[in-house]
Chains A and B, each alone.
Chain A
Amino acid sequence: MMKRFSLRMATAGLAGLVLASVGPVQAAEQLAPPRFTWSSSGVFGTFDRAQLQRGFQVFKEACSACHGIDQMSFRNLAQPGGPEFSTAQAAAIAADWMHKVREIGDDGQPAERTPRLADRIPGPFANKKAAEAAHGGKAPPDLSLMPRARSYERGFPWFLTDIFTLYQEHGADYVKAFLTGYEEGKQTPPGTHYNKYYPGNFVGMPNILQDGLVTYTDGSPQTAKQYAADVTAFLMWTAEPHLEQRKRIGFQVLLFLLVLGGLTYFTKKKVWKNVEGHS
């Protein structure tokens, strides 16, 4: 086993050197997703609470049968900067959750119990092997970090201008485009589906989000497009629960540094006033 890994890594390392591109299918050209608007983008961006709550609903009803969200706990649903359910609502969500917490019972046997607020949100499968067995050998990925774990090539000079225009929703744009990027009537290998944004185009996941699949209570349009936007916004939050705090503190830090920088600069001018050639 070890030797096999060793050989594999040695070859991959070599290939990495010589080709830097392993697996011709994965290296296929990727269609750039369109730019979407996100309430969380920009210097003062914040999440739309109602959207995150709807996104959570979509995740619960459309995604969580196959995908986990391992990094999140039920308590997170009630913390500031997120969907901000009330603590009672979050506790009720935990109690109603369709998957149980798997643990070892007092008798030493595997046991299941109803989740509590403090628990991580249990996923659909007991372990990776079970997930693989249920999905033809490839486990559905955990979604906690999905908008951060995906991206697409921006190309010159956009990758430079992104620094200043603050575009950082590459992954979110990809995820939303992917969720609505399925096309019917294409030739696909067995067990796969055609998605125009997926690198290589053939993806195991079928087209899940159909109009009317999830019933919203706040009057938002019940379309696949809206579901995709909402669940992606929700996943942007799970990928970075402190996004709002980050931007808020960042603004204060930059404001402070600009003032301090200005004051220090004029102090410097004053100190150097009597040195020839300086003003």
Chain B
Amino acid sequence: MQGHSHYVPTSGIGKWMDSRLPVPRLVYDSFIAYPVPKNLNYFYTFGAILSFMLIAQIITGVVLAMHYTAHVDLAFNSIEKMMRDVNYGWMLRYLHANGASMFFVAVYVHMFRGLYYGSYKAPREVLWILGVIIYLLMMATAFLGYVLPWGQMSLWGAVVITNLFSAIPLVGPTVVEFLWGGYSVDNPTLNRFFSLHYLLPFMIAGVVVLHVWALHVTGQNNPTGVEVKDVKKDTVPFTPYATIKDAVGLIFFLILFMWFVFFQPTYLGHAVNFVPADPLVTPPHIVPEWYFLPFYAILRAITFDINLIIFTIPSKLGGVLAMFAAIAVLAFLPWLDTSKVKSTAYRPMHKQFFWAFVVVCLILGWLGSKPAEYPYTVLSLIFTGLYFAYFLVVLPLLGLFETPRKLPASIADAVLAKVRKGGAPVTAGAAAAPQTKG
């Protein structure tokens, strides 16, 4: 799709710059002339939405950091002062805290969209894996950020998550002391978490650049999963077509975002985090933020030691391994899915398994919010099994047994067929198509 560049500098400065550092050419080729399939739906606007969210989080975060004090005795009060005495400090803080949640809303839509339309398949494997890396970095950043207000859930969430690493055989306790910077979650921990919380978003930005680069090499996938055959017939230029559509998607996403910021600003958090951290009082329920809940359920699903005859995996290590495997398995998706057909729109069986998988993820999220007791532990185990079965059993086998529907010859054909069926009313511009008003 990249092809050769059609950029023609017109001004004197443009020509001078183009032969030295062709930044205008890069922008022109990437965001103006870049051809996008003309059948993209609104689920494809989430890439732009995510870019916006990353920039918004960095800007609000940099300003918040000007008012924040990373010290166990001062952090909680520095944030309360920000909420009360800094001009619009409350707004910045709500934007940032809810922005993290909305970032995950957008990334989950983006990921499920990729899953549905097979966007991870050749030639987009590297693009997908870069996405998995961004997701991992996002999770780390969000976790570190939640610790900074130093409320009860901040502290005890940090205690639970850092303790995961103690399950690593032999070096576990050393690793945990290294993370803590001491013998408990304390001031050194808060300081390094703040430092890393400031660092990771820029690493995300770096990987995002690679992600977009890879996207512009392979070109975008589309709802038919059929690759672009004829750039003239199958695609439209990024500007104005994709830019205006992304803008519409972004604005309606912002309406949801602002609803939370201004009318439910603490809904997505925990009340107990308005209690200052106290190492001597453990909150009754230690629960992560909603976007981690499915993985939290998987972590706690392994309540028994796994006996492998030669050695035994203790339950705690088993849970940690299962949780990391649940994320790592995503990176292998391009090779686990054996079907030649990309889009689930043409895979009748996968369509059912896909939606079943979405439900499994939602149920795991619900289980993650429940205390680890009967029957939730048993259910967690069952649904953890189903989660992995989707990747390790369903996707590899489905490619062999499923009979896909007939694919359209090209994107243009698919669009035309839709027009003929009357799926979309035809406008004056589409002169060749018959009128099917009504």
* B289 CB-CB contact with A under 8 Å: no
Bound-state Cα–Cα, A107 to B240, Å: 72
From B3-11, B62-70, B269-277, the one touching the partner chain is B269-277
Give the residues in chain A near B184, CB-CB below 8 Å: 2, 5-6, 8-9
A27 to B370, CA, bound (A): 12
- Decide: A21 near B183, CB < 8 A? Known: A10-B163, A272-B241: no
- B371 in complex: contacting residue of A27, A145, A156, A168, CB < 8 Å: A27
- A246-B262, A267-B244 are known contacts. Are A19 and B373 too (CB-CB below 8 A)? yes
In this complex, what residue of A is CB-closest to B274? Answer: A149
B40 to A: closest C-beta gap in Å? 11
Decide if B272 touches A14 in the complex (CB within 8 Å). no
Q: Which B residues fall within an 8 A CB radius of A?
A: 38-39, 77, 80, 83-84, 90-91, 94, 156, 159-160, 162-164, 166, 182-186, 236, 240-241, 244-245, 247-248, 251-252, 254-255, 258-267, 271-272, 274-275, 279, 282-287, 299-300, 303, 315-316, 319, 366, 371-373, 412, 415-416, 418-419, 423-430, 432-433
Q: Are A246 and B424 in contact (CB under 8 A)?
A: no
Query: Known interface pairs A21-B285, A23-B282, A278-B424. Does A271 touch B251 (Cβ–Cβ under 8 Å)?
Result: no
Contacts of B427 in A (CB 8 A): 273-274, 278-279
| Cβ contact within 8 Å between B274 and A277 | no
Contact A17 B371 (CB under 8 A): no
Contacts A22-B286, A268-B245 supplied; 7 other A-B pairs, CB < 8 Å:
A6-B183, A9-B279, A13-B160, A14-B163, A20-B285, A265-B248, A271-B241
Contacts known (A71-B84, A264-B248); A9 close to B159, Cβ less than 8 A: yes
> Is A206 at the interface (CB under 8 A from chain B)?
no
A257 to B251, CA, bound (A): 7
Q: Point out the residues of chain B lying under 8 angstroms from A276, CB to CB.
A: 38, 412, 415-416, 419, 430, 432-433
Q: Is the CB of B159 within 8 A of A13?
A: yes
A168, B264: Cβ atoms closer than 8 Å: yes
Q: Are B244 and A271 in contact (CB under 8 A)?
A: yes
13 chain-A/chain-B pairs, Cβ below 8 angstroms: A5-B183, A9-B185, A12-B159, A18-B300, A71-B84, A145-B274, A162-B267, A163-B259, A163-B260, A250-B261, A254-B255, A273-B429, A279-B426
For A6, the chain B residues whose CB sits under 8 A away are 183-184
**B91 contacts A20, CB within 8 Å?**
no
| Residue among A9, A71, A240, A272 with most chain B CB within 10 A | A9
Interface majority SS on A: helix, strand, loop or mixed? helix
List residues of A (218-269) whose CB comes within 8 Å of B's CBs. 239-242, 245-247, 249-251, 253-254, 257-258, 260-261, 264-265, 267-268
Is A166's beta carbon under 8 Å from chain B? yes
Interface size on A, residues (CB 8 A): 67
A271 to B38 Cα, complex, angstroms: 13
Query: What is the number of contacts between chain A and chain B, taking CB atoms within 8 Å?
Result: 196
Report the bound CA distance from A171 to B269 in whole Å.
Answer: 13
A43 within 8 A of B: yes
Given contacts A168-B267, A250-B262, A271-B244, contact A258 B373 (CB under 8 A): no
Chain B residues within an 8 Å CB radius of A241: 84
What residues of A have a CB within 8 angstroms of the CB of B164 in the complex? 17
Q: A150 in the interface, Cβ–Cβ < 8 Å?
A: yes
Q: How far is the CB of A76 from chain B (nearest CB, A)?
A: 8
Which chain B residues lie closer than 8 Å to A19 at the CB level? Answer: 371-373
Cross-chain contact A26 with B284 (CB below 8 angstroms): yes
Q: Which residue of A lies closest to B414 (CB)?
A: A277
> Considering the chains assembled together, what is the distance between the CA atoms of A76 and B85 in angstroms?
10
Chain B residues near A5: list those with CB within 8 A. 183-184, 186, 279
Interchain CB contact (< 8 A) of B244 among A199, A242, A264:
A264
B432 contact set on A, CB distance < 8 A: 276
A residues with a Cβ closer than 8 A to B are 2-3, 5-6, 8-10, 12-14, 16-23, 26-27, 43, 71, 76, 141, 144-145, 148-151, 156, 162-163, 166, 168, 170-171, 199, 239-242, 245-247, 249-251, 253-254, 257-258, 260-261, 264-265, 267-268, 271-279
DSSP class of B's interface residues: helix, strand, loop or mixed?
helix
* Cβ-defined contact, A21 with B241, below 8 A: no
Contacts of B255 in A (CB 8 A): 254, 257-258, 261
Q: Which of the residues B366, B373, B433 comes within 8 Å of A21, measured between beta carbons?
A: B373
Q: Closest approach, in angstroms, between the C-beta of A245 and any C-beta of chain B?
A: 8
Nearest B residue (CB) for A263: B251
**Are A268's CB and B371's CB within 8 A?**
no
Q: Is the CB of A274 within 8 A of B429?
A: yes
Pairs of residues from A and B, 8 with the lowest C-beta to C-beta distance, nearest first: A250-B262, A13-B163, A274-B429, A151-B271, A6-B183, A149-B274, A277-B415, A5-B184
Residues of chain A contacted by B286 (CB below 8 angstroms): 16, 20, 22
Contact B266 A242 (CB under 8 A): no
Residues of A within 8 A of B299 (CB): 17
Q: Contact check, B271 vs A170: say whether CB atoms are below 8 A apart.
A: yes
Among residues of A, the one whose C-beta sits closest to the C-beta of B245 is: A268
Chain B: minimal CB distance from A257 (Å): 5
B375 vs chain A, min Cβ distance (A): 15
Residues in chain B near residue A279, CB distance under 8 A: 424-427
Nearest CB in chain A: distance from B37 CB, A = 11
| A3 CB → nearest B CB, Å | 6
- Most A CB contacts (10 A, CB to CB) among B83, B262, B267, B433 go to B262
Question: Which residues of chain B have C-beta atoms less than 8 A from A239's C-beta?
Answer: 274
Q: How far is the CB of A17 from chain B (nearest CB, A)?
A: 6
Contact of B371 with A242 in the complex, beta carbons under 8 Å: no
Pick the contact of B271: A10, A148, A240 (CB < 8 A): A148
Q: CA separation between A20 and B372, bound complex, in Å?
A: 6
- If A2-B182, A3-B183, A22-B284 touch, whether A17 touches B316 (CB-CB below 8 Å) is yes
Query: Are the C-beta atoms of B262 and A71 separated by less than 8 Å?
Result: no
B287 partner residues in chain A, CB cutoff 8 A: 20
Q: Point out which of A20, A23, A241 has the most chain B C-beta atoms below 10 A from its C-beta.
A: A20
A277 to chain B, nearest CB (A): 4
On whether the beta carbons of B241 and A150 are closer than 8 Å, the reply is no
Given contacts A22-B282, A166-B263, A276-B433, contact A2 B91 (CB under 8 A): no
Bound state CA distance, A138 and B282, in angstroms? 15
Taken together as a complex, chains A and B put the C-alpha atoms of A35 and B90 apart, in Å, by: 27
A residues within 8 A CB of B186?
5
Q: A247-B262, A264-B247, A271-B241 are known contacts. Are A9 and B163 too (CB-CB below 8 A)?
A: yes
Q: Is the CB of A250 within 8 A of B263?
A: yes
A17-B83 Cα distance, complex, nearest whole Å: 33
